Structures are given as C-alpha cells and as structure tokens.
Structure 1
Amino acid sequence: MAGFRMLLRSSSVEDAGQDTPILRGPQPDSRFITLLEALKKRDLANVKTLLARGLSPNHREPARGNRTPLIYAVKHDFTEAVLELVAAGANVNLADAAGITPLHMASGGGHISTLRILIARGAPPDPLDNHARTPLHYAARAANPGPGGSNFVSVVEMLLSAGALLGRRDADGRLALHNAATAGSSKLIKILVRGRGSSTINFKDKEGRTPLHCAVLGARSLEAVTSLLDFGAAINSQDRHGDTALHMTAGRPYNHVDDEFDGMCLEQLLSHGASVAAKNNEGLNALSLALRRTMWWGRPTARDYVLHAVQQLVAKGACIQDGFAMWRMVESFPSLVPIALNRSFRANTSARDSPLLQLDLDFGPLTVDCQQLCEIQRQRPLNPQAELPLPPPLLRDSEVSMLHYIMWAGRKSLLKHPLCHAFLHLKWFKVRKYFLANVFFYFFFVLSLTAFLLSSHNCSNDPETSGNVTSLNDSLSNSSSDADRNYSFSFDYLKEEGPLRCGWSGEHVVGLTWWCLVIFSALLDLREIVQILQNPFIYIRNLGNVIDATLVVCVPQILVSSLENKECCLAEWQQSVGAISIILAWVRLMLFTGQFPSCGVYIVMFSTVAKNVLRFLLMYVPVLVAFALGFHVLLRSSTTFQDLGTSLVTALVMMTGELDYESTFLTPQPPLPSESQVLSICILVVFIVLVFIILSNLLVGLAVSDMYAIKQRSEVLRLTRHVELMLQVENLFRNSLIPRRLQKCLLSSISLTSGLSSDVTVSVYPNRTHGFADTIFLLLIRIVRARKLLTKIFEIFVSGFIAPEYEPSLPSQLMGEAVNMALREHELDKREERLHLRALQIGQNKQAGSSQQSNSQVPVTLRSSIIRPSCVERASWRWTLASDTDVEEDGDLFHPPLQQQTSTWSTRHPSNSGAQRNVLPDSHARLEELRKLVINLQAAVETLSTTVQQNQSTYRTTATVLGAHSLNDVTV
C-alpha cells in the first residue's frame, strides 16, 4: 500500500495519457484541456475560438498545479498565442502553485521572443518562486556550454538590461552564478561576473560552496573553471566539509570520474596555486583522497587517472600524512614514495649553520591506525572486480607496523629513506635498554658455559681407572712431562680435600660454574618457552632462535650427566655436546652484536659473503670430488687418502694451500711405483692450477665482486633486522603471561609517539650543542630521575645555569641527509611562492595597461604559462615516471643517476602521448626548473616593456604626423 502511494506521488498529471484514470483531485476543465492541445499543436485559430467562447485567459487549473494558459503558451514558445492571450487580458505576473511565473518559464526554456514580449508588457525581472529562485536562476541553471547555450546568454543579457539583480539568493543560498558554474557555461559566467557581479564570485551557498566548487562538480567544463580562476575566484576556499576545489577534483567518487576533464582540471587548479597541503574536516589532503580510489578500480582507465593525479600532487609538494595514504602509495605507486616522503622534513630557516635551525620530522606516514583502516575497509563500496583485504602486518597494533608492511610487500629498499631510518634510530633508543639487558644476560650465560667446560676435564677411557680420582692421579703421575706433573699435583690437592662432585660442591671452581650455568640455563629456557608460546612460526624462522633452541636441548644434558658423575669429568659424548654448545653460544653472541647500529652492517656483510661463498662452492663441488677420488685411487695407502671421506676433506684442505707435498707425494709410505708417483704429481699440478689458483680466487672474486652493492644490501638487511627486533620486543611485552598494568608500562617505555601530539612530529636541533655541565646534568637526569633536586644543585655550583631539555638526536650522516632534504624543500617553497607573487604582479600590470587602452571591464586573462608551463596540453606541468616494475628492489631511489636528473619536467603533447615515461627525478631537479622559470619571467617582463615602448613611440609618431597634416590644412 505504501509503494502504491509513493507511485501516485511521483506520477505527474501532465504525463498521464487519455486512458489513465485520475483517482483523486478535481477534474480538469475540458475547455482548458482543449486549449492545451491547441497550444501543443500550435493551432492559433482554435486558441482564439476557445477564448471567444468564454475561457478566461487567467484561468488557473487546479488539476494542473494552478497553471494558466499563458504559462503553457510560454512553455511551448508559441509567440502568436502569447500575444493573443496578453491582448485578451492575461496577467503576465500570475504564478502557479509552485510560484513559477511566465517569466520563469521563458527564462528556463531560453525563449527570447516570448521573454521580450513579457518584459514589454510590464513583467518584473525578479519574481520569486516558492524556492526564492528568480528567472535569472532558471536561465543560468538551464544554460549549457554547447551550441544551444547562446540563447540563454541572450536571455541573461535581456534580464540584466531589464534590471534583474545579480545578488539574489535562492532558498539554498545559491546565486545565478552558482547555477551557471554548475551548468558549465563560460560565456554566461563572464557576463555574470563583469561589472557589479565581480564581487559575487566568491559568494558561498548554504553548503559553503563557491561557484568554483560548483564548476568542478557540475557539467565538467574546463572553460568554466578557467574563467572563474581568471576572474579571481578563491581557489583555496573551503565548504562546510572543509573541501576545496582540489579536494573535489582529486577525491571524486570512482564511478563519477571523467578522466579527461578531471586530469586537466587538476592541472589547471595546481597551476593557479591550489594548496596541496589544505586539509578538510576529516584531516585529509587531496593526495589522501586521490589514494582512496586505489582501493577499488571501478574502470580500466581509473588507474591511469589516479596515477596522473598522484603524480601532479606529489610534484607540487603534497606529503603523505597518515598510514593509510602510505599503505596505498607503497601498494600502488612505490616509485613515488621517496619523493613524497621528502616533504616530511621541515626546516624553520634556510640558514644551514644557524644555531636556531630546527628540523621537524613528521612520522605521520609511518604510524598506522588499525581501527581507521578497518573502518575504511568496511565503508568500501561493494565491487566484486577488486577485492582488497587488509595486509596482515597493518592489523598489528605496533609502532613499526608500516615498516613491517614495507618488508612484507617486498619494498625493503624504502627502509633506507632518511625518514624510515630516523624513525628506526629513535625507536632503537627506546628499545636499547631492554636489548642491552638481554645481551648482558646472554653474555653471562656464555661465560658460565665456557668456564664450566674449561674447568671440567675429560674422563679416562680405561674403565678400571675411571672409578675415583686417586687412580686417575696415579696414572697421571707416571707421565714424565711437566704439564702432567702439574695436573697430577692439582688432583692430589683435590684428593686431599675429599671427593669432588661437580653438581654439589660449591667450594671449588667447577661447582661454582655448575651453579652459575644452572641458573642462566634455566632463565634461557624460560625465555625461549615464552617466545615459542608467543608465535612458534616466527620463532623457527629466525636463525638465532634456532641456535638458542639447540642450546636449550644441549646444555641440560651436560649438567644432568655431571650430577651422576662422581669424578667431575666429561664423557666422550659430553665432550661432543659441549664442543657444539660452546661454538653455537659464541656464534649467537656475535649475532647479538649485529643488532647494534654501529657494527650491525659488518655482521650482515659477513653473513652475506658467507652465503655467496657457500652458494658458489656448491656449484664447484664436483671438481673437488673428482680430484678427491683420483687421489684416493692412487694414494689410498697414505693415511690422508685412506678412505673417501678423508680424501674429500684433504682435497678441501689442499684447496687452501696446505699441500704436504714432500711426505705425501715424494716419499710416501709405503713407496709407490714410479709410474703412479709421476701420475700423482701430474694430477697434483693440475689440481694446483684448476683448484688452488683458479677456483679459490674465483670464489673470492665472486663473493666480494661488488663490495659497494654488498654494503648497500647489508644496510637494508640491517634495517630489516632492526624492524624484526622491535616487533619481537613488542610481541614479548604483549604476552598474555604478563599482567596488563605491567604490559602498559613496558609498552609505554618503548613507545616513540606516546608523549607526542596527534601530528606525531619530532623536532631535532642539528646545530645546538651542550657544554660539559649540561651534558653531565642530562646524564644524571636519565639515571637519577630527580630533575628539581639536580637543578638546584647545579644552580649552586654553576653560575647562570639553565636546566637544558633532553632533545633527540640522529647520527651525523643521517642528520646531514635530513638537513639537506629539509633545506631543499624549504628553498623550493620559497621560490614557488616568489614565482607565484611575481606572476600575479605581471598579471595586474597587464590588466592595468589594458584598462587604460579600453573601457571594457572584462579582466585580462592571467595566463598560466607565466606561473607554470602551459596547461592546455593534457600532460603539461607534471613529472612522468616509469612503471612500478621498472624500479629494482635494490636500486637507489633517493639519488637517481645523472642522466635522470638532466631531464626534469616532461611536457607530453597529444602527438606523442604514447611515448615512454621518464623516471621521476628528485627535488634537486625542481630547483633547476624553477630557475628556468625565473628566467622566462624576466624575459616576459622585458618583452612587455618593449611592447609598451613601441606603442608609445608609435603613438608619438602618429601624433606628429596628424599635427603636420593639420598645419598643412590651415596653410591651405
């Protein structure tokens, strides 16, 4: 029933056919229906007949919304009928139920002839309908940029000449200029903004939108947008949602995108100085809105448009402001990420050596809000063509989630960017105390294991003498060496002290080391159990964790067996387990040192070279096997080549240069036949040439062929391990076995952004130094945590002491890179601002010169070529870049090659639209291009002054000639 009522409400009486029953409402007058048919058929005779029969020309038909015959005659542009009705006494100001007068109908239809008749008959130019719209609103709304728009231009001119007011607002607060901008009629815009209408160009409606907003959202006419910009529209004006025209262009819904218009409109707005840093009420800039489209590709061409939009915004200095935009940039346009991250460095001055130089690092792109990402994912429109689940690393509640995602996405080279590097360095200072505690614990564990194994001796293989220490001492006393005598003396002393039990005697060194090893081994077992319970899959993929797990298994076997042994000695199998344990323990300690920033890269280089050597050695193993088999066949009587395994090991040792030539090949025992001896020497010579000289040097050359590339990759791997370490620490602190309050305390102590504001900005001062007293004060503050007491103490002993604040710092090399980026961006901003102001000044000079030559009030167009390269072409004023597959994983994204820096701005014309794109350069190239723009501006000024001088000289010459002619006329 409700659906039937809605159908009746949406149905129009005028659209009803002859067989359509009218269910309710008054029945229309039959004479009025006949009149409507006559007006539709343009039958003037029938109209006169109906009027002669007594039909009133001012009849208001309730069934037709109280419309009069004159309104229908104007609607059908039946001029003769309009004249006939007016002559019959029709009221030209009579409105229908919606407040629409014949003048509204004529203006909205673009009927010039009927409009002229109505105005001549005294119709007022500004009647209001029920929505406070005037005929000027109707004409502007119905205008179009096509050929038929000229009629509406004439209608508007006629209304304005009749006295229509430009400042009339409708119920929505919109002017006629808003409607013209929505319709996209540039001709109508020029008429409405000239003269007194120039003050209305920035008026806002109730939504806070200016005509420029309406032009961007309306009929998508680039001429309309250009006209408003040329007449001085406020390009950065915001509506009630905080959106500018640039926001609306970049963030247009994916199913309403017009690639051609949106791309050119974006270029036009940017070339006229649209701010890429403006944020709406949600805190999003234009780049974030453009990147939201990458979550769903509505059409095949949408990716090209978004790529173009992101290129334009990044080239103009748009920055990545949050983790969502960073995720979409890394996912869709990774080659643009380094350029966009450069804007995260800001400097307060361009003086590099100033002590007041402040460097602000915005870590917003590296922070991820899991709830925000999930909310955006939930609000994503249903699009079965592009299902995009959230990456698992971004769902972690961690400060390094974005860095973990960069690793997960295969873009590890982005970790070398100074912003990511600085974030990891500052984060390291938060995690360092816990890592050092772990290193010290492991160091004492290794020391206790080493001390225990060194203080314990090997058991005798004779079962008769392995029962007690006395028999062992007697056997050792038979030795004639001094070392054996000393060793025997030590055991005589132990025998006098009593029987020794390794596990229970705390009076001797062996027992003390046993207890230390028991304690540290138990703590190690507990730590490993907690890590395994946290995430077993991540645990087994780490080499250090595998070594720790091996130690957890091996060390208790040594300790338990020592308890059962009365002699405090190690059996043969214990010796093997102990040897493996001590090697693995010291290797694991070396891996721990690789986590320190100062020496981590060298440990990674060691592991990288080791992997290369092993990989290449496996390729040449058949050569070693071949020579090992040959030597085994010829020299199997020798102990070094007695079996296959020994022969292979001997060949590997000979590869390092340890040949033992005389005893093995010249005087073997037993002697070999002369033929076999000659053959073995010949094979040895071939082995020396192929393996010792060629193969060994080839392995070294291949392993360390490009040390610079190895160092670069090692730096990336070091940063990767730092990220993994911080993830491991955070996961450990979030363990369910730890109380919740303690969890919050631990996580807060390692959080880098917990004490910062919402913008997540860290400030460093590169040129600020502290004296000796300040350094001691800051050191004591970090240790004692009593600031007020220390301040009073220092004020007593240090005159004029001012308590300094602790400030984060960066390594010198990283600080230099960050300062260079910040100062470069600061200089770019200053130069672009000067160029824009200079361009505006030139435009005003041109406008002033043109106003002196003519009385026309139409302003001279401020050509965008003065501010930026021409925006007429589709791809002007933008940087083109290679596809994502063209960027190698280990390539240097932050220092492009010289041949890439020479070509800065790429202007692509329609004729070569299919040309290959160049790689996007860094910000150094923008300085060179801006310098060229300054030169072009100077040339434009000189050309303008030359033209003015030529015009003045021409004027003087003309005046002189005219004066001479007048003088001749007087003489005649």
Structure 2
Amino acid sequence: MTSSAESIKLTWLENPSIPIRPSYPVIQETAHFSGANQVTTTTNSHNSQKYGDLFEKLVSLIKAGTRKATASIQKHLGEDEDGILITYQESKDGQTLLHKTAIEANPDILGVLLDAGVDPDKLDFRGRSPLHLIVESGCRCKICSDQRVECIKALINSGASPDPVDKHGNTPLFYCALKLYSDCAKTLLNNGASLYHGKGEKSITTMLAEYLPDVLRNELDKCIGYNPEDSSQLQIDFKVLLQIEGDLNQSNKRTSGEDEIPPRETELLQSVLKAKDGYDAILTHPVVEAFLHFKWLVVRKLFFLLRSVYFVLLLLYTILMFRIYSNTCIDDYFFGGVGDFCPITDLETIGALILFGAVGFIIISEFYKVYADFSGYFSNGSTGYLWWILCIGWAGTLIPAVGPPPLYYHYPVAAVSLIFSWLMTLSQLGRIPWFATHVGLLVKVVQDFIRLLFTFLIVLIAFTVGFCILLPDNSSFNNGSFALFKAFMMMKGDIDYEGILDKKTNNFLSFPEYSIPAHLIYTTFVIVVTMVLTGLLIGLAVKDIEEALRKAKVNHSIRLIKEIGIFESIIRSKVLTCWTSKWLCKWYSIERTKAIKAYQLTFSPIHPDDTTLPESIKTSFLPYYDNGVCQHQNHRRRLKM
C-alpha cells in the first residue's frame, strides 16, 4: 500500500498541472502570533523539518522573478528530497515560499503557490503575513504598484484576511499609509479592510489622514449615493464616521457586548485631528460638514445654556471689579490710610462668594475632563489651559471682596483678568456656526499680522537705536526701554514731526552735524517704516481672504470636534453608571434628529425648498449629483448662482 503522500506524489508526477491540495493535516513547525512581541511555536511531532537545497533553489528562482523562473517553480513544486511537501516548507525565520514571493510582489508566482495550497494567512516568526510583506517592500513606481495591487487581490480572493495584525499591532493598511501606497490602500479598503484598527497616533485613520488623505476622502465619497426610492435625492450614510460596520442589527465592531457603552460618535474625527497635517482635506469634505452640522443641532441647547451662565457670571465679575478697583475711592486710600478705601457691601460679598463657587465648579469640571479623556484634554489647546488662567485671575482679584484691601499689584492683574475674560467670550462665540467664520477670520488676520510684525521688528529696533543717539534730549527717546514703543506708534502714523525735531527741546539739533543726520534718518523712517512697511504688513495680513475664510472654517470644525469629543468622553466615563451613560449617549446621538433614520440622511441638494442642510453644505454636494437629471437642471443653475 502507498501512503497518502506517495499517492499525491505519483498523481503530481503524472500531471504536474494539477495543484497539490493535501487532504490530510501536514505536521510542521508553525509560528503563531498571540500578542505583542509573543510568538508561540508548534513543533513537528516526528522531527524538525530539514531545509533542503530544493527550498533554497526555489527561493532563488522567486527572487529572479522571470517567466522561466515561474515555469521552473511550477515544475518543482511538489516535494523536497525528504518527502515533505515543499509548499509547506519554512525558512529559518518562519517564512514559506509565499512569504518570499510576497517580498518580491510577483503575481504570477504568487498565483502558482496559492493554487498549490499555501496558507495565505501564515505568519512568520515576526508575526508578519504575506500581505504585510507585500506592502512593506518595493517602490512607488507604476509597475511595482500594479504588481502589489494584483498580489493583494489574489491573496484576499484566496481567503486571506485583509486585516492580519503583526507583533507591533499593525495591519497592512497601516504600512500602506506609511509607505504612501495609495493604490494598495484603496484595494485593501475595497476588499474589506477596516479603518478602525490601532489607537492614538498609530491608528489607521490618523495615518491615512496624515499621509494619504485622498484615500480617506475616497472612503467618505462612498458614503454618498442616490436614494433608491427617488433618484433626484442623495442619501448620506454616516456609518463610516460612526465606526459601524455591517448590519445595524449586529454589534458595533468596537463594542463587545450589549451592556457596553458605544464609542464616541466623533471618535474617528478625533483620530483625524491627531494627524500632524492633512486633516484639512478631511474636515472640508461635505459628509463631515453635514455630520458636524447635525452634531451641533444635538448639543447646541446645552452649549447655549453653559455659555449663558458664563456670560451672567462675567457680568457679575465685571461689576465687582469696577466696585473693588474703582478710581473714585482709591486716592484717599493710598495717601490717607485704610479707612478711606471703598467699603464692600454685603451684597457684593455675596456676589464674590458666588463667583468663588463658580471658580470651584470650573476647577472640578476641568479635573473631571482630564480624568475622562487625559490625552484629548491636553491636545485641546484652544480651551484646556484657558479655563485655568481664567480661574486663577478671578480667584486672585476677588480676594479683596472677602479679605484684606487690594495691594498695588492687584490693579494690573484685575485689568488683565477682565480683558482676558471678555476675550474668552469672543472665543465662545467662535464656536457658534453663525459667528465662527468671522471670529476665525479675525484671529487669522491678527495672527498673520503679529507674525509679520515680529519678522520686521529688526527694522524698528534699528531706527529706534538711531533716534536714541541723535535725540537724547527728547522725552520719547531718552529712555531706551520705552523708545521702541514710541517708534511703533510712529509706525502707525503718529510721526509727531514738531515734537521730535524741535530745536528748543533738542539741544543737539542746534548743530548742523546733528540736525542733518537726524532729519535724514527721520525721513527714511517715514518712508520705509510708516509708508512701505506698514502697508506691506496690512497687505500681507489680508492678502488672501478666501484662504483665511477657509482656514477659519476648518478651525471652527476642529474646535467643535474637540469640545464635543470631551463632552462625549465625560458622559462615557466610569464615574457615571452604565445606564446613565447609555441614556446620555442616546440622548446626544445624531439619530435624535428627525432628518436621520438608521444613520442615513436623505435630501435633495438641488431643491430650493429642502432645508435639511444649510445652503453652503448643500452646494458642496453638487459635484456628487448626476448631471444627467435634466428635469432639475434649472434648479441646479439657480442654486449655483
């Protein structure tokens, strides 16, 4: 009798074109990845496999990659000299012939090996599958890219998982982003790869947003389709943004049980913001804009309530600051004694105690935010540390209302604290969509102006030093500490010719040796700084209003995502009960809006009476609308106008 292995051998020798797929389990030394940096090994129960000359010869042929090599591999792909099927043979690093072929990204040899029954999901001793090796090697030329795409399709069609995880916890899609292989990334995503692997800066979404934003935009484009019941309407599916995969009746991929709290609805967008660059292209996508619009509709009542409370407290704080630090009472206090200080009434003391309570509440809430989402809180620079500064300013300036009279340093601190508190109100208004663009535009222009001013500061310093030397009797330039401020005021147009070049107040100007250079330097300053430099600063600061508006819109989306993300972390924290968290998650979900059913939105971007979305967002969906819907062309023309 012949064994099963001998039967397979005889059959293959008679007809080498028949692929070998053994029906019996081959006992071999196999590496399995079981966790981070952990690889377990199952050893052959008979004896360790011998790595013969045939295996090494086939590896050499794979590296050659020619048609002759493919034919030779197909000829020899049966068994090695010891009778072990060569298709299951491994090298010392745990790699099969399929791994070696994946490194070379040769689709012809790969197809031969897959037909021979090689396991497409086999991991080597470093936990890498053939898919990992395909996207880790090669270059970005068109030929190599096409070969990698063909190999990826062949592996997945043979049953390979699109999301194998190596010992570092990364999937092939992660390395596609790292290597800038956009075609491979699109192929993996089209064949079932997940966007939701990894955490932090190593998450798939973060990597794609930073290195391949077009691929992520392509996934968002897939969320837009026609309404199957009405071809004149578009249908947006928000499941990609909400990290919901497959049927809604099935559990969320990120949730392991029915009693667990669902993930944050802005989780994917939070990952996008962790990218160092490239998130602008994602945040300006119409699907993201529509999603943020509905998230704002859900949370805006709570937002307005909190901001109204803050505004009332700010008014109370402003009144107390005027009362405590009013100039009508401090003159006698400084020169006559403590008894002349403005008295504090009981009502004002109660107001100060209310503000102290508000400061304590803000501090507790900020600590709670840190506990709920530590990394997210400190990445939110626009709101995180600002509240701490405000609390310190309020607490320090309110002490005289309940304690000893103010000292001299309390007055400038109170002035700065009031200015900062009211500017915080401007920051809060910037989170409302109606004011966001204008506030963002103001911030952008101010930032550009300050940046340019510091760039040309050396010119101001040069002229200031010259004026200090030639005009030592002038009160504006006899003190070097304040001379730069005078030069800055002259820069904006306050040139004060008579006051600066007056011979009666500047003795040195009585001599021509000093008068002529002073006039020349002054004239040069007026031309270079007051006329040219000031005009240049203003021109450069507002040179591109369209770009400034676009950036302001992106910054508004960033602030909104971060604030909603912190709020969602709070209602999902362990401090609250599971039932309370689930109820709050459902209450503040976008599915509460009437327009969204089963996480899908249906609307008409060309119908003027459709108010589901704001006009600006509806217009951004027009490129996705079919121009062949002739009966609505007139509507589209009016909407574009």
Matched, 1:337 2:216: yes
Name 1:547's counterpart in structure 2: 386
C-alpha separation in 2, matches of 1:332 and 1:421: 21
Alpha carbons 2:501, 2:509 under 8 Å: kept: no
CA 1:549–1:13 in structure 2 vs 1: closer, same or farther (change >3 Å)? closer
SS of the residue corresponding to residue 483 of structure 2 reads helix
Q: 1:411 aligns with which of 275, 278, 292?
A: 278
SS of the residue corresponding to residue 810 of structure 1 reads coil
Matched, 1:720 2:558: yes
Name 2:74's counterpart in structure 1: none
Q: Kindly state the Cα deviation for residue 732 of structure 1 after the two structures are TM-superposed.
A: 2.8
Matched, 1:367 2:367: no
Amino acid at match of 1:712: R
C-alpha separation in 1, matches of 2:361 and 2:255: 43
C-alpha separation in 2, matches of 1:682 and 1:532: 59
CA 1:217–1:373 in structure 2 vs 1: closer, same or farther (change >3 Å)? farther
SS of the residue corresponding to residue 762 of structure 1 reads strand
Alpha carbons 2:255, 2:263 under 8 Å: kept: no
SS of the residue corresponding to residue 346 of structure 2 reads coil
C-alpha separation in 2, matches of 1:299 and 1:634: 65
Matched, 1:347 2:222: no
Matched, 1:505 2:308: no
Name 1:606's counterpart in structure 2: 442
Within a 5 Å distance, the mapping from 1:416-815 to structure 2 comes to 416-456=284-324, 457-458=326-327, 459-460=330-331, 465-469=336-340, 501-502=343-344, 505-506=346-347, 510-511=348-349, 513-535=351-373, 538-539=376-377, 542-565=381-404, 570-666=406-502, 668-669=504-505, 671-674=507-510, 675=512, 676-753=514-591, 760-764=599-603, 809-815=612-618
Q: Kindly state the Cα deviation for residue 672 of structure 1 after the two structures are TM-superposed.
A: 4.0
Q: Kindly state the Cα deviation for residue 299 of structure 1 after the two structures are TM-superposed.
A: 12
Q: Kindly state the Cα deviation for residue 762 of structure 1 after the two structures are TM-superposed.
A: 2.7
C-alpha separation in 2, matches of 1:529 and 1:297: 37
Amino acid at match of 1:446: L
Q: Kindly state the Cα deviation for residue 759 of structure 1 after the two structures are TM-superposed.
A: 6.5
Within a 5 Å distance, the mapping from 1:237-386 to structure 2 comes to 295-296=171-172, 307=183, 310=186, 323=196, 327=205, 330=209, 333-348=212-227, 357-368=232-243
Deviations 1:414-441 (CA, angstroms, capped at 9, x unpaired): 1111111111111111221222122112
SS of the residue corresponding to residue 613 of structure 2 reads coil
C-alpha separation in 2, matches of 1:663 and 1:291: 77
Alpha carbons 1:266, 1:309 under 8 Å: kept: no
CA 1:533–1:329 in structure 2 vs 1: closer, same or farther (change >3 Å)? closer
Deviations 1:498-532 (CA, angstroms, capped at 9, x unpaired): xx742x522xxx45653553443343333334334
CA 1:696–1:285 in structure 2 vs 1: closer, same or farther (change >3 Å)? farther
Segment drifting more, 667-676 vs 703-712? 667-676
Alpha carbons 2:298, 2:593 under 8 Å: kept: no
Name 2:42's counterpart in structure 1: none
Matched, 1:400 2:227: no
CA 1:261–1:361 in structure 2 vs 1: closer, same or farther (change >3 Å)? same
| Higher gyration radius (CA) | 1
Amino acid at match of 2:458: P
CA 1:539–1:631 in structure 2 vs 1: closer, same or farther (change >3 Å)? farther
Amino acid at match of 1:514: A
C-alpha separation in 1, matches of 2:150 and 2:367: 61
CA 1:595–1:679 in structure 2 vs 1: closer, same or farther (change >3 Å)? same
CA 1:252–1:637 in structure 2 vs 1: closer, same or farther (change >3 Å)? closer
Q: 1:818 aligns with which of 621, 629, 632?
A: 621
Q: Kindly state the Cα deviation for residue 689 of structure 1 after the two structures are TM-superposed.
A: 1.1
C-alpha separation in 1, matches of 2:189 and 2:335: 88
Amino acid at match of 1:505: D
Amino acid at match of 1:547: L
Q: Kindly state the Cα deviation for residue 329 of structure 1 after the two structures are TM-superposed.
A: 5.8
C-alpha separation in 2, matches of 1:298 and 1:346: 28
Q: What percent identity do the matched residue pairs reach?
A: 19
Q: Kindly state the Cα deviation for residue 643 of structure 1 after the two structures are TM-superposed.
A: 1.0
Deviations 1:654-703 (CA, angstroms, capped at 9, x unpaired): 11111222223225536444233443222211111111112111212222
C-alpha separation in 2, matches of 1:666 and 1:304: 67
Amino acid at match of 1:761: Q
SS of the residue corresponding to residue 341 of structure 1 reads helix
Alpha carbons 2:173, 2:204 under 8 Å: kept: no
CA 1:824–1:295 in structure 2 vs 1: closer, same or farther (change >3 Å)? farther
SS of the residue corresponding to residue 468 of structure 1 reads helix
SS of the residue corresponding to residue 590 of structure 2 reads coil
CA 1:538–1:460 in structure 2 vs 1: closer, same or farther (change >3 Å)? farther
CA 1:141–1:423 in structure 2 vs 1: closer, same or farther (change >3 Å)? same
CA 1:260–1:349 in structure 2 vs 1: closer, same or farther (change >3 Å)? closer
Within a 5 Å distance, the mapping from 1:905-920 to structure 2 comes to none
Name 1:904's counterpart in structure 2: none
Alpha carbons 1:501, 1:563 under 8 Å: kept: no
CA 1:576–1:297 in structure 2 vs 1: closer, same or farther (change >3 Å)? closer
Amino acid at match of 1:750: Y
Q: Kindly state the Cα deviation for residue 591 of structure 1 after the two structures are TM-superposed.
A: 0.7
> Which segments of 5 or more consecutive residues in structure 1 lack a partner in the other structure?
1-7, 16-74, 76-104, 111-138, 144-215, 225-250, 270-283, 377-394, 473-499, 771-806, 828-972
C-alpha separation in 1, matches of 2:554 and 2:507: 58
C-alpha separation in 1, matches of 2:253 and 2:430: 35
Alpha carbons 1:544, 1:588 under 8 Å: kept: no
Amino acid at match of 2:521: I
Amino acid at match of 2:301: K
Amino acid at match of 1:814: I
Q: Kindly state the Cα deviation for residue 581 of structure 1 after the two structures are TM-superposed.
A: 0.6
SS of the residue corresponding to residue 337 of structure 2 reads coil
Amino acid at match of 2:215: L
C-alpha separation in 2, matches of 1:671 and 1:259: 79
CA 1:658–1:265 in structure 2 vs 1: closer, same or farther (change >3 Å)? closer
Within a 5 Å distance, the mapping from 1:140-179 to structure 2 comes to none
CA 1:824–1:732 in structure 2 vs 1: closer, same or farther (change >3 Å)? farther
Q: Kindly state the Cα deviation for residue 449 of structure 1 after the two structures are TM-superposed.
A: 1.4
Segment drifting more, 529-538 vs 540-549? 529-538
Amino acid at match of 1:630: G
- TM-score with structure 1 length normalisation? 0.43
Amino acid at match of 1:554: G
Alpha carbons 1:321, 1:364 under 8 Å: kept: no
SS of the residue corresponding to residue 455 of structure 1 reads helix
Alpha carbons 1:343, 1:825 under 8 Å: kept: no
CA 1:549–1:375 in structure 2 vs 1: closer, same or farther (change >3 Å)? closer
